[in-house]
Amino acid sequence: MANVLEIIPLGGIGEFGMNCTLLRFGDEMLVLDAGMGFPEESVYGVDVCIPDFEILEQYRNEITAIILTHGHEDHLGALPYVLKKINVPVYASHFTLGLAESKLDEHGLLGDVLLHRVEPRDVVTIGSFTIEFIRASHSLIDCFHLAIKTPVGTIIHTGDYKVDESPVIGEPIDLRTLRRYGQEGVLALLSDSTNATVPGRTPSERAVIPAFEEIFAEAKGRIIVAAFASSIHRLQIVLDVAQQFNRKVCVLGRSMQKNVEIAERLGYLDIHDGMLVSINDTKHLADDQIVFLVTGSQAEPRAALYQMATQIYKGVTIEEGDTVVLSARIIPGNERAISKLIGFIYKRGANIIEEKRRLIHVSGHASQEDIRIMTEATRPKFVVPIHGEYRMLFRHKEFVKNHLDYAEENIVLIENGDVLELDGERAAIVDKREIKRTFIDETGFEEIEYETVRERKKMAYEGIVTLFLSINRTTNELAAPPQIIAQGVRGFPSIGINGVSKAPSGGAILKDAELAVDAAIAGASSQTFKDPTLLKEHVRLELKRFIQKETGARPVIVPVIRDLG
């Protein structure tokens, strides 16, 4: 094989979520991150989606390790599904692996996977790749940039980051090490584009502290703070301000409780003795002595906040006089659900504070001036925008071209499935791999094929027709008239199982549909009759053509054949 490096993104390019990138040299491959996403098809029994990892099967004997930049779901959530297909060592920080272990345990994989905990500035050699883990600043703790030395040059993968020089927890971003690599020479910078449309610098996590102090000073009743369970900096701020105002904290929601437990156990959260109380303890405290730290900032129906706003959650409900703080950004696509949730909270008589009213949330991603600092520190030959919708990738390119004096040919826009080839001198997209999605059912464990979700979506919009046929195998004829049950089909009446239309004018079209099926049976070859699969497909297509011609609808058609011998 030629002396080239291949970069193949499986997800996270041109979209939010499902971040996963393959790095291949010769017959060796690294997997960088394994993230999940949240599909639009969530109403079809699907909670999350992951990249279609079929491509990993093709490289099964080449994959040497999975490297995780940090513990957010869009970088970590698909890990169990990858490891079920191909079991290789995983390298990540202490906190990231703390989150990963919880997931692997749920999937029954924990004892079978080799997990390597790494510290900032650790250097690991895996075959032809030498990786240094560089401390990054983000809304989550214990995050890494990756400096990956390859035979054709050094790749810097930023992961998610911002330039935070005064984080709430831990040390600031390690610009010194990034600059060292810049002086030595960086071939390509794969760089976060999420906030590439935003001018200036992204504020430090500490920027929200004054607003929280004001809210706690003003609130006379209970305070309910909804935040991302992974925002450990934000959780520490809530704990610190609660301590300052003599309030106890009750943590509600499975993921919030799990993350607080992991962060405290690993020493990342500083929690004073007696600060955390149980839900039963809160019933014995005055309203101005309690803070609820809850999941549900995105209006997830099963999360604590939504249930507190719409019903009683474990004996607790939102009440008049409460102050609800939505300390998180709105993930695109969740606007309507969150607006509805806010309405429920107002109906309860509570006061709501969101980021439009107070500075109670800051982004974890690099704005334009952060991008400038990263690019000038690393001084790459090629800039490859990653992580974000296409408009963000494009704006990232425009900013680097116009403000950092990069030639257009040295800024490479890629999409999921592109094979980007680098040989040390040039960067070119040489191939395109088809990357589908795999959907995960509501239990979080079972994978659902893409075609299944497509059928569910089609049924929701176009309806379903079930066709019952009784076939006499001796004569290859119908032994009884076909029975048709239609549900939700545009322009086609709902039909009862006895063949009687529920609509007054449905008899004519029903009769014509039966005649179409009769004709299909009469026109079937003897070979078709011998194979039930062929016969089902034959009558399905004929009935589909009839319904489409008569009504314009394209329902899912399910033939059921009863063989009478």
Superfamily of 205-354 according to CATH? Metallo-hydrolase/oxidoreductase (3.40.50.10710)
What pLDDT band is residue 505 in, cutting at 50, 70 and 90? very low
Reference 413, options 13, 11, 3; nearest CA is 13
Q: Which CATH architecture has domain 5-201+363-448?
A: 4-Layer Sandwich (3.60)
Contacts of residue 523, defined as CB under 8 A and 6 or more positions apart, other chains included, come to none
Q: Is the pLDDT of residue 191 over 60?
A: yes
CB under 8 A, 24+ apart: contacts of 521-529: 521/469, 521/471, 521/477, 521/478, 524/476, 526/476, 529/471, 529/473, 529/476
Distance CA 170, CA 550 (A): 67
Burial of 321 (0-12, 13-18, 19+ CB in 10 A): middle
Rg (CA), the chain: 28
User: Which pLDDT score, from 0 to 100, does residue 501 have?
Assistant: 39
3-class DSSP assignment, residue 80: helix
- pLDDT for the residue numbered 490: 63
Give the Cα separation of 213 and 22 in Å (integer).
Answer: 44
Tokens linked to 485: 């049950």
Nearest to 478 by CA among 518, 423, 534, 530: 518
Residue 491 φ then ψ, to 5°: 80, 5
Q: What is the pLDDT of residues 282-331, one digit of tens each?
A: 999 999 999 999 999 999 888 999 999 998 888 899 999 999 999 998 88
For residue range 14-41, list pLDDT tens digits in order.
Answer: 888 899 999 999 999 999 999 988 655 4
Q: What percent of the chain has pLDDT over 70?
A: 89
Q: Which residue has the tokens 């979700």?
A: 453
Does 445 score more than 60 pLDDT? no
pLDDT of 449 higher than 60: no
For every residue of 97-108, DSSP letters joined together read HHHHHHHHHHTT
Residue 134 vs residue 469, higher pLDDT = 134
Q: What is the pLDDT of residue 565?
A: 58
Give domain limits for the chain: 5-201+363-448, 205-354, 463-563
Residue 150's DSSP bridge partners are 153
Write down the pLDDT at residue 468: 83
Supply the pLDDT for residue 525: 81
pLDDT band at 520 (very low <50, low <70, confident <90, very high): confident
Q: What is the pLDDT of residue 385?
A: 98
Mean pLDDT, residues 246-269: 96
Give domain 463-563's CATH architecture: Roll (3.10)
pLDDT > 80? residue 97: yes
Does 387 score more than 80 pLDDT? yes
